Structure 1
Amino acid sequence: MDDRTMRAVLFDRFGGPEVLYVGRVPRPEPAPGEALVRVRAFSVNGGELAARSGRLRLFTGQRFPQRVGLDFTGEVAALGAGATGVAVGDRVWGVVGRTAFGSAAEYVTVRAGRLGRVPDGLDLVAAAALPVATTAVTALRDKARLRPGERLLVRGAAGGVGNAAVQLGRAYGAEVTALARAANLNFVRTLGAHHAIDHRSVPPGELGLFDVVLDTAGTDLRAFRRLLAPGGRMVTIAFDLARPAASLGYIAASAVHGRGRVRFFSGDPGRALLDELAARVAEGVLRPAVDRCFPLEETAAAHRALEAGGVRGKYVVRVD
């Protein structure tokens, strides 16, 4: 096989998981300051589903073929001129960029400063469930400034960011309430949740008050904002894709109207944040949660599974 090309997951039109296929594209070369990473695994994220379906076409454009894959683990295969902080052969993890995709492939290039070293002893396939956990670190530590003894509500607690937030919230000393499907309540308890509640059986208004609310869904923000105690903070990592203008408008208006600003951000980790993640893993307070692992050729099945709901942690795709 021509070593100037590689396998990658592509799609030629917007649509459901069935539009995904494995094709061949040129193998990238690292530019100055970049590293070429041999990808071993990546996880499936909600933003990719939205991009593939066309709901993010204002950001992704309409030129095809397009790519999927946001995060990754692997080994550094080559370095561009001036790239520092990592060496060829290092086991690394990272995210290609806030609005970029393309890690669903045999190789990916990324700025060297966006790579962190995977902790020793952590399998690279399992480790692919964790780069998204940097979003939980930023949300709780930096945006909400969660303090020991505070009451934390995690919405979507069984998902990729949510399961990490439950683990980190417990490690930060908070009293953690996890919202999840009934079938996943035992799972979030094993992560460290003090209270696990079926989000379908208990309406938001009956949940009580919280010092910090972390939302991973982006819908019904008004209802969950009402749960903030005096001095409470709400952080969301999503907005309502069915009503994007109204949803983002509400988030913006929350800074000046009503009780408690809704802080919105999109994760974009660099080396410092990835190293913080590695430290939490080394301490034993954060562990990867892999629901199921798929081969590269079944990436469409992984997308389909995530769309069906009910994931416990992350769906990971293995690149052999």
Structure 2
Amino acid sequence: MKNHMMNAVLYDRYGGPEVLYLGRVPRPEPAPGEVLVKVHAFSVNGGELAARAGRLRLVTGRRFPQRVGLDFTGEVAALGAGATRLTVGDRVWGVLGRTSGFGSAAEYLTVPADRVGQVPDGLDLVDAAALLVAIIAVTALRDKAALRPGERLLVRGAAGGVGHAAVQLGRACGAEVTALARAANLEFVRGLGAHEAVDHRSVRPAQLGRFDVVLDTVGTDLRAIRRLLDPGGRMVTIAFDLNRPVASLGYIAASAIHGRGRVRFFSGNPVQKHLDDLARHVVEGKLRPAVHTVFPLEETAAAHQELEAGGVQGKYVVRVV
């Protein structure tokens, strides 16, 4: 495969979705312990939008061109030395690691073998791409918040990628789920299993009542949302205020020692065991995919634009092949 080229989505400067273009880059070869994946689909995530816009430039730097795409589904195309768990042709899914950056918006990618799992039989690879973000919801509710049957759960940003998975998982766990979303998305989140669906623009946080667990996917107004916790309540956020990052992250850190209810913040970094766990949830019927729109690879910029506009129900997915 040496000197072979492939299509990939790139950008040469920070900015809006219009900076994205389809370019040509060398097709990678798997190093020892890696697999080469022929990418079938990936979803569009908020973190890569922030990176493309330059809001994370302290991390992403100023070396261009840069890439987009965080998760992926596809087929194993080749194996590096020592990658014996998988075979060529296996249907796989995964998420690029924190040290790998972005880059799944491409025809091929290489990834360590321990960072991919096998897609459940019968699950379409486009649908599978929409479900990958559910790993974060599983970790947040089960591992970080220890959600229990009968508890009251508030999901903020309930119609989005992580949020719509959290509503389903909360209902499957036996929790009483309140979903905060746009008015246009309330019927959608009710259909996912929310006991109560509330237009986030129509109420103040204090009017929502009290909760045992809060899952926040928005990152703003964390102080007001935290006040909704009952004694012993737990709050998990997967986002922070990108307009006030230092203050927002500082508040999250301070919550561990001040006031009632620590705010737990984390970002996903899944490996095989997490992917296998997700597959079990799918097979058991606890999760079903919600694909809002499918875009071709050359229209990745349009997918970014749509996600930035808001109002997504589930996930925007880009099909590569």
Interval of TM-score (by shorter of Structure 1 and Structure 2): over 0.9
Partner residue, 2:54: 54
Q: In structure 2, how many angstroms separate the alpha carbons of the residues matched to 1:43 and 1:312?
A: 13
Per-residue deviation, 1:265: 0.2
What is aligned with 2:207?
A: 206
Matches within 5 A, 1:134-145: 134-145=135-146
> Match of 1:242, as an amino acid?
N
Q: What is the RMSD computed on CA atoms of the aligned residues?
A: 1.1
Report matched runs for 1:112-191 at 5 Å.
112-191=113-192
Tell me the alpha carbon deviations over residues 195-232 of structure 1, each in whole angstroms, 9 at most, x when there is no partner. Answer: 10000001101000000000001110000000000100
1:3, 1:154 → 2: CA distance?
Answer: 48
Counterpart residue type for residue 279 of structure 2: A
Give the match's secondary structure for 1:128: helix
Percent identity over the alignment is 81
Alpha-carbon shift at residue 173 of structure 1 (Å):
1.0
Partner Cα separation in structure 2 for residue 44 and residue 195 of structure 1: 27
Task: Report the alpha carbon displacement of residue 87 of structure 1 after superposing the two structures with TM.
Answer: 1.5
2:130 alignment partner, SS class: coil
In 1, the alpha carbon distance for the partners of 2:127 and 2:60 equals: 29
Partner AA of 2:170 in structure 1: G
- Residues 1:223 and 2:224 are matched in the alignment: yes
C-alpha distance in 2 between matches for 1:280 and 1:108: 26
Aligned residue in 2 for 1:15: 15
The answer for the alignment partner of 1:316 in structure 2 is 317
> 1:126 Cα shift?
1.4
The residue aligned with 1:110 is: 111
Distance in 2 (CA, whole Å) between partners of 1:87 and 1:206 is: 54
Matched AA of 1:240:
D
8 Å Cα contact 1:31-1:80 kept in structure 2: yes
The CA deviation string for residues 1-54 of structure 1, in whole angstroms up to 9 with x for no partner, is x97110000000000000000000000011111111000000000001000000
Query: What is the distance in 1 between the residues matched to 2:247 and 2:42?
Result: 32
Aligned-partner residue type, residue 103 of structure 2? G
CA distance in structure 2 between the aligned counterparts of 1:266 and 1:134, rounded to whole angstroms: 11
Name 2:86's counterpart in structure 1: 86
Q: 1:7 aligns to what SS in structure 2?
A: strand
Where does residue 36 of structure 1 map in the other structure? Answer: 36
The amino acid across from 1:19 in the alignment is V
- Report the equivalent of 1:65: 65
C-alpha separation between the residues in 1 aligned to 2:205 and 2:137?
A: 22
Name 1:5's counterpart in structure 2. 5
Q: Is the 8 A contact 1:84 1:113 kept in 2?
A: no
Structure 2: gaps (5+ residues): none
Give the secondary-structure state (helix, strand or coil) at the position aligned to 2:29: coil
Deviation at 1:281, TM superposition (A): 0.6
Aligned to 2:261: 260
Q: Distance in 2 between matches of 1:283 and 1:202?
A: 35
Paired positions, count: 320
On the 8 A contact 1:43/1:71 being kept in 2, the answer is yes
Structure 2 counterpart of 1:236:
237
- CA distance in 2: counterparts of 1:115 and 1:52, whole angstroms: 25
Rounded Cα–Cα distance in structure 1 between residues aligned with 2:270 and 2:45: 15
Segments ≥4 residues shifted beyond 4 Å: none
**How far has the Cα of 1:264 moved from its partner?**
0.2
Cα drift, residue 85 of structure 1: 2.5
Residues 235-267 of structure 1, C-alpha deviations (whole Å, 9 max, x = no match)? 000111000000000000000000000000000
- In the alignment, the residues of structure 1 paired with residue 61 and residue 83 of structure 2 have an alpha-carbon distance, to the nearest angstrom, of 30
State TM-score, norm by structure 2. Answer: 0.98
Q: Which amino acid aligns with 1:103?
A: S
Q: CA deviation at 1:130?
A: 1.0
Aligned residue in 2 for 1:276:
277
1:285, distance to aligned residue in structure 2 (A): 1.3
Aligned residue for 1:129, secondary structure, equals helix
The yes-or-no answer on 1:246 pairing with 2:247 is yes
Q: CA deviation at 1:125?
A: 1.1
- Is the contact made by 1:157 and 1:165 (CA closer than 8 Å) also made in structure 2? yes
Alignment check: 8 A CA contact 1:98 1:266 kept: no
Deviation at 1:61, TM superposition (A): 0.9
Query: CA–CA distance in 2 between the matches of 1:311 and 1:3?
Result: 39
Cα contact 1:210–1:229 (8 A) shared by 2: yes
